[in-house]
Structure 1
Amino acid sequence: MNNTLTKADIVDSITEKVDQPRGEIKQRVESLLAIMKSAIVRDHALLISGFGKFEAYAKKARKGRNPQTSESITLEPRKVVVFRLSKKFRDQLN
């Protein structure tokens, strides 16, 4: 079950529905994604009503283990983004 939706699939789907050149639609999709990325970087969150919320948060440094050598290592602090479905979408999914 590896049916991943790609940006190209999104552009193709929109192209089928509207009468605009594919290049223009691709540019608009890229612009939308850039807006979403900058919102997450700036506000650490992006809420899309009826869909869900993207949240960025910092993970602290922690101890880990190299699986090949069993050597103990320290994993650097990093930022991660999580996605939480809206209740409406979750109900629709289930």
Structure 2
Amino acid sequence: MPKGNPVTTEDILADKCDLEKRIERLNKKGERIKNEILTQIDMIDDPRYCEILEAYFIDCLDMEDIAEEMGYGPRHVYKLYSKAIERLVEFDSKRPVNWH
């Protein structure tokens, strides 16, 4: 038995409501982040890079699964992934800094 006051149904319902609100906030934040990632990926002109980055960052696939899905070897996918990240860094370095 826990020490102190017993847990009531009202306590459990209040905790449930708080958790549901937290989950909703996190889902909204996750959706915003996902949209930001897709916006950055869409700036890349090579569809292979886009496909790899989306599969990795949005679909949460590992490189071996991406390679199998795309019909490439894992080493080739790693090389394309590296080039895609370089391209993102290149775009990011050209973007003006927003201090606000």
Higher strand proportion (structure 1 or 2): 1
Interval of TM-score (by shorter of Structure 1 and Structure 2): 0.3 to 0.5
Higher helix proportion (structure 1 or 2): 2
Larger Rg: 2
